[in-house]
Chain A
Amino acid sequence: MSIVDETWQWFRAPEQWTGASGIPSRLLEHLGYTGLTVAVSALIAIPIGLWVGHTGRLRGLAVVLSGALRALPTLGVLTYVVLLSGLGLTPITVALTVLAIPPLLAGTYAGLEAVDRATIDAARGMGMSEWQVLTKVEIPLALPLIVGGLRSATLQVVATATVAAYVGLGGLGRFIIDGIALRDDPRMVGGSIAVVVLALVLDALFVLLQKAATPSRAPKVPSRP
């Protein structure tokens, strides 16, 4: 039987769809780690990104820092935090947050930077306060790029959250890591496919979200003949 058939059989087996070690509960765990991490990362990265983008200060530092964070190997961070804080949710959340901050930070400050200076000057000229400029002009105009940052952060986290299984947690990585350990290829491939499908579904949702976040333009001026 080929690996394709074996994997198909693995997906079809009833025990894959029930209980604490079935695909549905592993999927929920996986989404849980992803959601928690992206939320924590957004709380950290978006305010910093807004401040950097609005004031233009410390931009160099933000670039260097997010570059440095990107270079940290997730598995290394994960193991290191386990050694500091022990098992539990903390290590995986920290390790994945490190991964999610750079795209969120970059998306946010780049989004604000991309707003036309003339628009901001006009807003100030109309007597808007700095807070109003940020919330009424800059953020709405930067929203597609901020959501873009959220999209790439989520995709990276959802793909990497598989490492949670490395340190005793669940999630879809359980299938991959157990499959490797037990040389059970269908389980490993099945787990990988589940992660890919989940990532594609989330990406599709973000495409819709990004469309919704793009400000509707004023009615087009009819082009001259």
Chain B
Amino acid sequence: MTIRKLVALGSAAALTLTLSACGDDSDSASETIVVGSAAFAENEIIAEIYAQALEAEGITVTKKLNIGAREAYLPALENGEIDLIPEYSGNLLGYLDPDATATAPDEIEEALDDALPEKLDLLDFSAAEDKDSLNVTAEFAKKNDLTTIADLADLDGLRLAANPEFSERPYGIPGLEKVYGITGIKFTAISDGGGPATLKALLDGDVDVADIYSTTPSIVDNDLVTLGDPKNLIAAQNVVPLISDEKASDKVEDVLNAVSAALTTDDLLELNGRNQGDEKAAPATLAKDWLKDKGLI
């Protein structure tokens, strides 16, 4: 999506919002939305984006960021301590229904419809995804002519580094064997979630492939090649606002849907990069910059 398109989309959304703000007085002025976030930077940045976008439309927002993991914030959402949180589609489904097998974005969306608790709503899914992704160095990709995971099947004795669960989860080694026919993988478990130690192993050539979350700035910083996943082995993790039913007024939905329409994986990469890199930009600053950039505030 080009910038111009995004800006157009953004201003269209803003216009709709302004119009609806004029016409729709049913939302009382005392409407307050409590925005929560999981305890990691990217989620906090998206939560800030939601919060500031809502504030810009005159909605009162309280922030309870950095709550913890899903086990902590989903109950908080259900009992009304928070009203809104940025979620990731695949992991949310996996939490709500541990037996779910859906991996494609639309399958997950459908499955979530059934699995979601009564009182909660999902708004529009954004294109932005933060999910496991298999990466190789640019050099290795070129040498072996790699663009997707399927191309790995031609290589012998592939060495792969990932979090320990990758060795047994369906999207991990078993899936690579079953879905893509890649066998004889030599697996190294590194428990840093695709962090610096995993990156070092890849750059040193100790391993050929590394599982790194798709919005990790090191992918860009080191010119890594993220292999495509044509068979949807790795579940989609689209960023989506999860909101309490009673707070999801038309106005709120419009604001958040406009945000989701504009948010991309590249945006998250850039935001995380500014947050983790030398700039160490605060989530609130990043959110403001992004919203301005997209013409949403």
Contacts and interface: CB of A to CB of B under 8 A. Distances in A.
Interface string B190-205: 1110001100110010
A182 B204 contact: no
Contacts, number: 50
Interface string B176-194: 0000000000001111100
Interface residues of A, number: 14
B197 A177 contact: no
A83 B198 CA distance: 9
A178 B201 contact: no
Interface string A81-101: 011001100000000000000
Given A177-B164, A178-B189, A182-B164, 14 more contacts: A79-B192, A82-B200, A87-B188, A87-B190, A87-B197, A87-B200, A165-B164, A167-B190, A178-B164, A178-B168, A181-B163, A181-B165, A182-B165, A182-B168
Interface of B: 161, 163-165, 167-169, 188-192, 196-197, 200-201, 204, 206
B169 to A, nearest CB: 7
A83 B202 CA distance: 12
Given A79-B197, A182-B168, A166 B190 contact: yes
A168 interface: yes
A178 B196 contact: no
Contacts of B190: 87, 166-168
Q: Report the 5 A-B pairs with minimum CB-CB distance, sorted nearest first.
A: A181-B165, A168-B188, A181-B164, A178-B164, A82-B197
B161 to A, nearest CB: 7
11 contacts: A79-B197, A82-B197, A83-B200, A86-B206, A87-B200, A87-B204, A177-B191, A178-B165, A178-B189, A181-B163, A182-B165
A165 B165 contact: no
A86 to B, nearest CB: 5
Q: Which of B165, B204, B206 gathers the greatest number of chain A CB atoms within 10 Å?
A: B165
A52 B136 CA distance: 52
B195 to A, nearest CB: 8
Nearest to B200: A83
A174 B188 CA distance: 11
